[in-house]
């Protein structure tokens, strides 16, 4: 009788330890996944800030450079595409992230073309509203870089955690999939050619 109690207690202890381990792994995966989703929301937040600045910037430039219609329309169209491309943080795939990044890169490119146009208009560059908007846009671009870096950091921590043994067994069982990273723009590893 005493031996069966010892066996029963040992089985109960082993079940409790196994349950606690699985619960701890699962809860850490949930916490990590939610942290990635939270950081993704912050990335979207700073991109939205940039999108919100663009109409004011375009309106200011339009007053000075009305005949630069094609460039202004390019910025407006790129903004519309960038704001319409969204990703569900819970179902973030590499393809969806690549599409999002492509639309944001197209907007960045259109803004760069706009800034080149602005160089032709000294009065516009001296305009206080334009200067403030340009400073805010530059600050926002810096925030985007920081938030994307933070997103990649928390995504890496999550991905590493779900790939480690025995976590990888439970990650597959509970449908915790690897999340995508932001990638550098193609050609970013090549230094630009500067000619005077």
Higher pLDDT, 41 or 71: 41
> Would you state the pLDDT for residue 193?
45
> Would you state the pLDDT for residue 64?
66
**Poorest-pLDDT segment among 88-92, 105-109, 155-159:** 88-92
Closest CA to 51 of 23, 87, 77: 77
Across all residues in the chain, what is the average pLDDT? 80
Domains annotated for the chain, with CATH where assigned, are 24-173 (1.20.1440.20)
Provide, rounded to the nearest whole percent, the portion of the chain with pLDDT above 70: 86
Whole-model pTM above 0.75? no
> Would you state the pLDDT for residue 126?
67
Q: Are 179 and 155 in contact (CB under 8 A)?
A: yes
100 contacts: CB under 8 Å, gap ≥ 6:
85, 86, 87
Q: Are 75 and 111 in contact (CB under 8 A)?
A: yes
- 98-150, pLDDT tens digit by residue? 888 888 888 888 888 777 777 776 776 666 777 787 888 888 888 888 998 99
Alpha carbon dihedral 131, 133, 136, 138, in 10-degree steps, equals -70
Q: Are 170 and 22 in contact (CB under 8 A)?
A: yes
Lookup: tokens for 140: 């926002």
Closest CA to 140 of 53, 38, 78: 53
């Amino acid at each position: 009788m005493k031996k069966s109690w010892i066996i029963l207690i040992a089985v109960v202890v082993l079940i409790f330890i196994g349950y606690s381990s699985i619960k701890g792994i699962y809860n850490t995966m949930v916490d990590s996944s939610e942290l990635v989703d939270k950081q993704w929301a912050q990335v979207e937040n700073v991109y939205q800030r940039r999108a919100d600045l663009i109409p004011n910037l375009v309106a200011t430039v339009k007053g000075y450079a009305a005949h630069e219609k094609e460039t202004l329309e390019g910025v407006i169209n790129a903004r519309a595409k960038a704001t319409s491309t969204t990703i569900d943080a819970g179902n973030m795939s590499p393809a969806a992230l690549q599409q999002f990044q492509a639309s944001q890169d197209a907007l960045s490119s259109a803004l760069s073309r706009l800034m080149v146009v602005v160089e032709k208009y000294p009065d516009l560059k001296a305009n206080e509203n334009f200067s403030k908007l340009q400073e805010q846009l530059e600050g926002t671009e810096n925030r985007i870089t920081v938030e994307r870096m933070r997103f990649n950091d928390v995504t890496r921590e999550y991905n590493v955690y779900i790939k480690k043994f025995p976590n990888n067994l439970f990650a597959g069982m509970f449908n915790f999939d690897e999340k995508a990273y932001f990638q550098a723009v193609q050609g970013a590893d090549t230094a630009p050619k500067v000619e005077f």
